[in-house]
Structure 1
């Protein structure tokens, strides 16, 4: 069995009861909202990753004000040639504050739109799971930076 690890860093930026999200496209073509952030380059510090990714995806300059926590998720999938891969996502989540820049969509990247959404409307959005994880970490602030998983 193949094993694959992806380490990524994301920002939870909330102001005036609104959260900053970026929109990407799933493999099946569905448009989904996600937290701004993404994969860490080899040798890159996670804090540098999240600041870079937020600017790329939203146009905003940010500073991270708190480490909210770490989330790990595993799944298995079968590749095109039939091999099974055990895929682990390690996601580092920060609280971020906008310090400059102007909201704009990413050009030539993995997202096509960035926007502020009311916190009470997030549950009605088509979104990836990291949005809910990030909001829970932001709201609950677990001392160990890890959420209790249901199920």
Structure 2
């Protein structure tokens, strides 16, 4: 089985009771809401990754105000089209970000198709990935060890 490690950085940007999210297609093609952010490029610092990714996906420039913590997940993906199954380990650094410039816009030809501010009280009704909830818990609880239990 192939082993795959992906390190990524994401932002929690909360303002006036709303959180900045991007929309991305799930494996089955159904849109779901995600935190703005994404994978590190080789040699890139995670801080620079989150600043770059937020601007790419939302149009906003952010100031990173805190490292909230780390989320780690492990999943097995079945093999597809001559590829072996993969043991995937995702390590996601979650930062708090403050908007300092730019204008909200949707990403063009990227991994997301829409960016929007979503009401924190309405999140329960949105199709979203688990990382959104984990990130919000880190933002609210700010655990000293930088992780929340599932």
Aligning the two structures, in what range does the TM-score lie when normalised by the shorter sequence? over 0.9
Partner of 1:22: helix, strand, or coil?
strand
Cα root mean square deviation, aligned: 0.9
Q: What's 2:90 paired with?
A: 89
Q: What's 2:122 paired with?
A: 121
Q: What's 1:66 paired with?
A: 66
Deviation of the 1:148 alpha carbon: 1.8
Q: What's 1:134 paired with?
A: 135
Count of paired positions: 149
Unaligned runs of 5+ in 1: none
- TM-score, normalization by structure 1: 0.96
Q: What's 2:54 paired with?
A: 54
- Per-residue CA deviations over 1:104-140 (Å, capped at 9, x if unaligned) read 0001101111000110111110111110110010011
Matched, 1:33 2:46: no
- Per-residue CA deviations over 1:21-68 (Å, capped at 9, x if unaligned) read 000111211001000000000000000000000000000010110000
- TM-score, normalization by structure 2: 0.97
